[in-house]
Structure 1
Amino acid sequence: MTSSRYNPYQVTDRNLALELVRVTEAAAVAASAWTGRGLKNEADGAAVEAMRRAFDTVAIDGMVVIGEGEMDEAPMLFIGEKVGAGGPGMDIAVDPLEGTNLCAKNLPNALTVVALAESGNFLHAPDIYMEKIVVGPALPEGVVDLDNSIEANLKALAQAKKCDVSDLMLCTLDRERHAELIARTREAGARVTLLSDGDVAAAIAACLDDSGIDIYAGSGGAPEGVLAAAAVRCVQGQMQGRLLFEDDGQVERARKMNPGADPSRKLALEDMARGDVLFSATGVTGGALLRGIRRSGGRTVTHSLVMRSKSGTLRFVEGHHDYHTKTW
């Protein structure tokens, strides 16, 4: 007799979460062969091809809606590409190698990233910049707002956390465009952590209690913003975004990708990633979030994070892969 509590979708959902780990593991191992070689496009290309092959075994009818960025002029899992072995229709958001420069220079926090949701649940974001702000869970709704000054946001966040502004740590990309944000944050009394690359990992870190990061703010890639939103959904954090346009052509492209929506509107978290979301990331180089690829003899050790918005569960998965029997 079938139990009345049996939920086939939930079983499929759980299985897909583990399948996504295999996809990011495969990409991370392939990219790691290029770590420290100074060849970011070759590392990215290896990750792309490994991720494509791994998706061939996943039981979904997937379409890439967030793919590799055109800014990098690197190989792409392109927007509109179909992946999967057949099954339920899914939107796929990928960054086969977040932090190509980090991998090329063997610097911390290079990751391989995949997010998955039912069709129509991810924002179709063009390869432009997005203004972003992220804080963690267990805070009053709307405690920070993209339309508020950084000083006002820091003050509100400190009040919500029952601490002083001087106790807060803001994380942002180390870019000239953030010079004013950095200066005003420090003048307000808060501290700043600067990243050379990798704002998906930074957005996740802002939602984890033991990361030392209280808030992520600034502008970065819009595709990475959607991936970050998927992760933030899974950990019940808060995030807002807004697309930043350089010309009318970018505005028109965003309008075509999301018909009927104001392309310049402030984006709430669920405007970017809604419904049931799955997220997986595997470390290529070690960092605050994940350990990097390790090799010993005929074995490779991977360290991954997999999350589901439905359950809110975070799982850190350590995989030990034997090259004598492993097929990717």
Structure 2
Amino acid sequence: MLNVLFSAKPQAWDAYQAPLSDAFAKAGLAVALARDHAPAKTDYIVFAPNGPVRDFAPYVNTKAVLSLWAGVETVVDNPTLTQPLCRLVDPGLTRGMVEWVTGHVLRHHLGMDAHILGQDGIWRDEISPPLAAERPVTILGIGALGAACGQALAGLGFAVTGWSRSPKDVPGLRCLHGAAGLQEALRAAQIVVTLLPQTADTQNILDAQNLALLAPGACVINPGRGPLIDDAALLQALDSGQIAHATLDVFRREPLPADHPYWAHPQVTVTPHIAATTRPETAAKIIAENIRRGEAGLPFLNVVDRQLGY
């Protein structure tokens, strides 16, 4: 019998207990799932950063820490975490991100706000968007989420450039990498979507210099991580007209404080970190598969590289 500790906020237990138990049974695993296993007797930890476990040192026999979140920036530098850490790559989460990103890219591409918000008796027939092929879109970060979003947009006819820090090849996308590739990816882009992990290298990647590379009147869409954007630089670019609109789902501090300038800015849309949420039913299958692999002596899926931070 394996002891699996569930460490997340209390209300998550009700959502995850049944899907995890079902997934373990279907994977042929005999598991005692609980929120209070003794550390020395815990085989695996199902982990969320908002749960009670902060010190991993007592978990001397734990074989892996399995994250319920795609992002691991809040735990990857924890000095007590010596066990393998696996981030969540979940098809349900990916599909949610694809739908959110596609919806907001189409919203800006089609100029939908002018008609949705402008129900005032004025016939605005001068608003006619180009075809998707004439609208350059750049995706910063072409891991699992970025690649899926980029391919979905390419399937709609958009000219999509994907950028990553190391070389990648994603069918349907023009792929660039490195510092020089970043400038080329941003130059003249009309819509930019940020889906990079949060690391020291990606912090403020959209700063004043890089925002200036975008086409005048470009739109910024950030469902990745708040610190990817230099907030002061973005606000200045919005006020100058260099950036026409920013749709932001993630922020340096969450919930976004009520007095933050983003709330009142007419060219900013704030969404409350809902672009991609973990779905218990699909996430449970990923957790169960990783435990099955661990017990079978196979490599874990999606192990975090501590030096890279993801």
TM-score where L is the length of structure 1: 0.26
- Bigger radius of gyration among the two: 2
Could you say which structure has the higher strand fraction? 1
TM-score by length of 2: 0.27
- Larger relative contact order (C-alpha < 8 A, sep ≥ 6)? 1
